[in-house]
Each structure stands twice: as C-alpha cells, then as structure tokens.
C-alpha cells in the first residue's frame, strides 16, 4: 500500500510541475505571457472600428484583431505606428510606422523591415476582417520593440510592401492606442 501512495504522490508532483511549466508564459500553446490591447476608433468621416490584441508567447507576439466597417471584400494596410496618439481627426498624430531599427519599409516576411510592418487586413463580404499574425519584431513591454504606448492604424488602401516610407496605403481609417 505504501508503494501505491508513493507512486500516486510522485505522479501528482509530475502533473503539478508540468502544469506550472505550461502556464508560466514560456511560449507554449497553453499559456501566454503579458497582453496588450488597442481599441480602434474611426477617424473623421469614417466608420471603421474594432480591436487589436497582442499576446507575448516567448520571444514572439501573437497579434489578433477584428475590424468592422470596411468596404466588403477589400484589403487594407495595417501597421503599428510610432506614437501612441490618435488625437488628430486624421490620426496623423500617430506618426509613421514603428521602426526602432531604422529599416526600410518591406513585406512582413522580411527580416529587414519596420517592426510595425504587418500583413494587410482582408475584409470579408460583410466588411469584417478577422486577423491573426505572429511576429518576433515586437514585444509587449520592456526596452526593445515594446508595443505598449504605441498606436495601431488601419489604412484605406492595401500596403504594397515596397513603396517608401510606408507602402502607399493611403489615408487612415481607424486608430487605437495600445495599452497593457
């Protein structure tokens, strides 16, 4: 009987230790680290709104979003901008793309790009875009590439990923400041 109790206690200890490792924010699918969020508000004369969530997963950040009020079946530039300021009617107060490494604007798959360069939003036939993207060029908080205190902007046109300095994605439809 003593061996059965010892085995049960040992098995329980393994389960507890494994559970702690899964939820400590070490990047596993079961657990995440710190999170941050931006609520997107429309710029002047626009109706686009939504939310963007950032979740730290080890050395990567998962960006998820839902954006409404877009033209049906359209594509839109979507970026993290340098300043956490959406106060101007056209959201130009958000500044340019977040670019701590002074890199050129480029496709989100390239290492040499702005930290704030992300894939375009793609709206469905109802004008709703649901989005998920993972990047190693952003972090939630801290010194390097922190997204908290910056802004997220939805543009009218798709990002062409080549035009400098911002991909020719046109006016800003919505803006939200990232808080965490």
Same domain, 13 and 74: no
Residues in CB range of 102: below 8 A, 6 or more apart: none
Same domain, 93 and 168: yes
Q: How far apart are CA 72 and CA 56, in angstroms?
A: 31
Listed residue (22, 31, 23, 82) closest to 55, CA to CA? 31
pLDDT digits (tens, 9 = 90+) for 41-73: 999 999 999 999 999 999 899 999 999 999 999
Same domain, 15 and 58: no
Average pLDDT over residues 75-80: 95
Same domain, 84 and 17: no
Same domain, 85 and 131: yes
Same domain, 14 and 88: no
The answer to whether 99 and 114 have CB atoms below 8 angstroms apart is yes
- Residue 21 pLDDT more than 60? no
User: In whole numbers, what is the pLDDT of the chain averaged over residues?
Assistant: 83
pLDDT above 70 covers a percentage of the chain that reads 82
Q: Residue 127: which domain range? A: 32-179
pLDDT above 90 covers a percentage of the chain that reads 61
Residue length of the chain: 180
Same domain, 20 and 52: no
Total count of domains within the chain? 2
Residue 133 sits in a domain of what CATH number? 2.60.40.200
Whether omega before 165 lies within 30 degrees of 0, making that bond cis, reads yes
Average pLDDT over residues 24-47: 75
The answer to whether 84 and 177 have CB atoms below 8 angstroms apart is yes
Of 14-28, 44-58, 99-113, the range with the lowest mean pLDDT is 14-28
Same domain, 90 and 114: yes
Same domain, 51 and 22: no
32 against 110, higher pLDDT:
110
Same domain, 152 and 78: yes
165 against 37, higher pLDDT:
37
**Residues that are catalytic:** 79, 81, 97, 105, 114, 117, 155, 172
Same domain, 19 and 86: no
């Amino acid at each position: 009987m003593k061996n059965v109790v010892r085995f049960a206690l040992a098995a329980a200890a393994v389960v507890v230790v494994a559970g702690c490792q899964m939820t400590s924010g070490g990047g596993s699918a079961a657990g995440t680290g710190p999170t941050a969020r931006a609520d997107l508000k429309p710029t002047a004369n626009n109706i686009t709104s939504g939310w963007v969530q950032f979740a730290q997963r080890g050395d990567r950040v998962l960006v998820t979003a839902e954006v409404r009020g877009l033209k049906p079946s359209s594509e839109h530039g979507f970026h993290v901008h340098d300043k956490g300021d959406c106060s101007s009617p056209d959201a130009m107060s958000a500044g340019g793309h977040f670019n701590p490494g002074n890199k050129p604007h480029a496709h989100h798959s390239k290492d040499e790009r702005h930290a704030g360069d992300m894939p375009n939003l793609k709206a469905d036939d109802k004008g709703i875009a649901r989005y998920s993207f993972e990047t190693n060029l952003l972090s939630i908080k801290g010194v390097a590439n922190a997204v908290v205190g910056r802004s997220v902007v939805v543009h009218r046109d798709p990002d062409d990923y080549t035009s400098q300095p911002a991909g020719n994605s046109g006016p800003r439809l919505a803006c939200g400041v990232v808080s965490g």
